[in-house]
């Protein structure tokens, strides 16, 4: 597994600063991936990056005034699934 790095942090910061209505979903470590932070904008556009820890992810969200949730508890928002469906259909 690849660890998170400065490029990951910069990407997350850029996403938060350039989209509205962003929420964070902290995904726990699994057998195949490290802890990740999933950011989802108001329209369902999303990004995911590895982060050092669950605490780091929630602290990042708090520092950027982004609500954060434990994805294992709440799941991912429907708007993200709708966005993926629109993209797959060619943006229709």
Phi-psi region of 70 (alpha: psi -120 to 50; beta: other; left: phi over 0): beta
Residue 1 falls inside a structural domain: no
In tens, the pLDDT along 24-62 reads 999 999 988 899 999 999 999 999 999 999 999 999 999
Residue 1 has pLDDT above 60, yes or no: no
Residue 38 falls inside a structural domain: yes
Residue 33 falls inside a structural domain: yes
**Strand-pair category, 68-70 with 46-50:** unpaired
Domain that residue 60 falls in? 6-88
pLDDT of 73? 97
The residue to which tokens 């982060």 are assigned: 51
Residue 45 falls inside a structural domain: yes
């Amino acid at each position: 597994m690849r660890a998170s790095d400065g490029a990951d942090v910069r990407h997350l910061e850029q996403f938060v600063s350039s989209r509205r209505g962003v929420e964070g979903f902290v995904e726990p470590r699994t057998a195949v991936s490290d802890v990740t932070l999933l950011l989802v904008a108001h329209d369902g556009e999303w990004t995911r990056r590895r982060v050092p820890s669950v605490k780091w992810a929630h602290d990042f969200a708090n520092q950027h005034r982004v609500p954060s949730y434990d994805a294992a508890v709440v799941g991912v928002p429907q708007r993200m699934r709708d966005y993926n469906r629109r993209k797959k259909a060619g943006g229709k």
